[in-house]
Chains A and B, each alone.
Chain A
Amino acid sequence: MTHHPMGSAEPLLAVRDLRVTFQRHGEKAFRAVDGVSFDVRPGQTVGLVGESGCGKSVTSLAIMGLLPKRGNRVEGTAIFDGEDLLSLSPSAMRDRRGADIAMIFQDPLSSLNPVVTIGRQVTEVMERHQGLSRKDATPKAAELLERVGIPDPRARLINYPHQLSGGMRQRALIAMALACNPRLLIADEPTTALDVTIQAQILALLKELVVDTGTALVMITHDLGVVAGLCDEVNVLYGGKIVERGGRHGLFQRPRHPYTVGLLNSIPRLDAPRGEKLSPVPGSVADNLPWDSACAFAPRCPNVLDVCTQEQPGWDGDQVVGYRCFNPMGGPR
């Protein structure tokens, strides 16, 4: 793996204090992302992990400029290659998407247009960003399909999504995302909708591709097990805030935030005795306290102190490692 000593290279993407507030008229404003900051260095793989509803997708959609046009407010900055993506004009952002930054989504079937051939859905990206004609793009599309491990790629070009298996569809989506050699790929739960064996194949493929191409990867998942083998750095998100960040080894060997510990305990282990019950984090996000005057996780936290329900915990750390907790595992630093 192209290894960048931590903190050395300039970040490719620097997200600072990202806030996304949803506001429908007549309803109370809801802050789905609440001051998120993280860096992605060239060639690095960064995980964004947390339970359903913690704001992972909203974070990535905000960076991509793909949130619904109305009913939300995005604040903060996302500096990509010296430009703030969040203040680019829609047409400038359209030029970046698919070319410099690409994204793949959770459900491969619904993410593909059912009435357009796989080939066309691959070539259209190259036609758009590389100025290729459809004729010139077609052999390249076949090469791409081959590279993502789709057998008999020429025949697949004229297939429609429903004629492919789930794993093949996700491979095709990855091919589309990589068509223009983006420098950053955001993968939003790319394996959640797939069978376990296929999941492992797709993860292996992603890993191989980012190593080969030097593409930086933001890997979004609710499963810490997925990031274990893949990510250089992991951000744990809770209630729209990053509650812990660390390098792969540090985070897994010495988690500090009680929520991270809970997530680690809920990873299914292959070596665990059969029938042993997983221990997911007790409680649900519905119990969350508002971040303004407390730690949102306090009601579910095994380590809770009085202060946790009275004050917002600050960030203890930097852009590389840190946590947000009054009473971390193993005691304060």
Chain B
Amino acid sequence: MLRFVVRRLLQMCMVVVVLSMLVFVWLRSLPGGPVSAILGERQTPQRRAALEAALGLDQPLPVQYLKFMERAIQGNFGVSTKVLPGEDALDVFLSRLPATIELSLLALFLAITLGIPLGYLAARRQGSVTDTTAVIFSLVGVAVPVFFTAFLLKYFFAVEWNLLPVSGRQTTGLDATRVTGMFVLDGVLTREWDAAWDAVKHLILPAVALATIPFAVIFRITRASVLDVLDEDYVRTAEAKGLTAQVIRGRHVLRNAMLPVVTTVGLQVGGLLAGAVLTETVFSYRGVGDALATAFREKDYPVLQVLILAAAVIYVLVNLLVDIAYAVIDPRIRTR
């Protein structure tokens, strides 16, 4: 098991290094480039060349990359030009991270706690009205773009019916103590219940919007996987042993049916990062996704670099966790 984790960690480092190269080359091939971003388009060639030399941009790409990596390892990605001008790019990311963690965790929680039980029920009642309805909803769920769902939710629940806040993470003027930067958790830790409740209300709509696609995918995979497992010989063996319905469901059906679901959840985290960009933009929710959208629009290269690399690291890390979870459930992988 330990060897498995170490091997995976090494693989992960390789992936991140390759990704960093890709990001590096990609950002430098964008039209405009950092010099225009800093000086603007209308500048004399002399001034451009001077700045390029100052930034090291006149050197060959591999040299630039090595210098970039050297600084990156020390946590130095440069200074934000547009998102929070003058701030350290890494700090911009770190300050936005708790908001997005809070949002994604809630979305993932909703998607899993609804998707798996519903998927199981639908499979057990294959062809019933419950099943058909759930399948149609999940099809709609995957098909509708996130920003459209987000927009609809915002329009009805916030604007029309005024049930929930329209945007942001906290009601302005609310004086809440910050501990972790995750507002709900902070409210609970400091026992500022009104602040926690306020944060929850701000979270609901974006989290629901963000959860729709992972929910639909998890539901469909669970349903298909349970249907497969129900046909397996070992489920018939369990029935032949006269085991109770609960034991058969938990130990024999769900434990096996969860294997493809676990992989899917890992893959959905990638989708969640992309979805966060759209959801956070619609709800003006100041998280990493919102920062990424701004940095891209405003060509804030240092911030963009940090965010893309961080997204890659998070994605790879989550998939490492998924692999470990998979090995925990499936002894055929663990005991090879």
- Interface residues, chain A, with chain B CB atoms under 8 Å away: 64, 66, 93-99, 102-103, 105, 107, 110-117, 120, 124-125, 128-129, 160, 162-163, 173, 176
- Chain A residue, CB-CB nearest to B231: A68
Whether B244 lies near A128 (C-beta < 8 A) is yes
Q: Does B239 contact A (CB under 8 A)?
A: yes
**Distance of A162 Cα from B329 Cα, bound (Å):** 14
Q: Would A114 and B239 count as touching, CB distance under 8 A?
A: no
CB distance from A111 to the nearest CB of B (A): 5
Q: What 1/0 flags go to B324-336 for Cβ under 8 Å of A? A: 0000011110010
Question: Given that A115-B330, A160-B335 are contacting pairs, would A98 and B240 also be in contact in the complex, using a CB cutoff of 8 Å?
Answer: yes
| Pairs across A and B, CB under 8 Å, 13 listed | A94-B242, A94-B244, A97-B240, A102-B240, A105-B236, A105-B237, A113-B252, A114-B332, A120-B251, A125-B243, A128-B242, A162-B335, A163-B335
Rounded to whole angstroms, the CA-CA distance of A45 and B157 in the bound complex is 71
Q: Name the residue on A nearest B238 (C-beta).
A: A113
User: Whole-angstrom distance between the alpha carbons of A163 and B334 in the complex?
Assistant: 12
- Asked if B233 lies at the interface with its beta carbon under 8 angstroms from chain A, I say yes
**Chain B interface residues (CB < 8 Å from chain A):** 232-234, 236-244, 247, 251-252, 255-256, 259, 329-332, 335
Cα distance A64–B239 when bound, in Å?
A: 9
Cα distance A99–B240 in the bound complex, in angstroms: 10
Listed from nearest, the 10 A-B pairs whose CB atoms lie closest are: A97-B242, A98-B242, A98-B241, A110-B233, A160-B331, A113-B234, A103-B240, A111-B233, A111-B237, A125-B241
Q: Which single member of B234, B239, B329 contacts A97 (CB below 8 Å)?
A: B239
A161 to chain B: closest CB distance in Å?
9
Tell whether, in the assembled complex, residue A110 and residue B242 are in contact, meaning their CB atoms are under 8 Å apart: no
Distance A113 CA – B240 CA, assembled complex (angstroms) = 13
Measured CB to CB, the nearest residue on chain A to B251 is: A116
Contact of B233 among A107, A124, A160 (CB under 8 A): A107
Assuming the contacts A66-B236, A105-B233, asked whether A114 and B241 have C-beta atoms less than 8 A apart, the reply is no
- The closest CB in chain A to the CB of B256 belongs to A115
Q: Are A99 and B242 in contact (CB under 8 A)?
A: yes
Whole-angstrom distance from the CB of B96 to the nearest CB of chain A?
A: 40
What residues of chain B lie closer than 8 Å to A120, measured between beta carbons?
251
The CA of A129 and the CA of B335, in the complex, are separated in Å by 31
User: Is there contact, CB below 8 Å, between B240 and A96?
Assistant: no
CB distance from A258 to the nearest CB of B (A): 35
Q: How far is the CA of A121 from the CA of B284 in the complex (A)?
A: 53
Q: Closest A residue to B336 by CB, please name it.
A: A162
B-chain residues with CB within 8 Å of residue A129 when the two chains form the complex = 242
Question: Chain B contacts of A94 at CB under 8 A?
Answer: 242-244
The interface residues of chain A lying within 8 Å CB-to-CB of B330 are 114-115
Which residues of chain B are near A97, meaning CB under 8 Å?
239-242
Indicate if the CB atoms of B240 and A64 lie closer than 8 Å: yes
Assembled-state Cα–Cα distance A163/B243 (Å) = 24
Smallest CB gap from A95: residue in B: B242
- B residues in contact with A173, CB < 8 Å: 237
B234 cross-chain contacts in A, Cβ below 8 A: 110-114
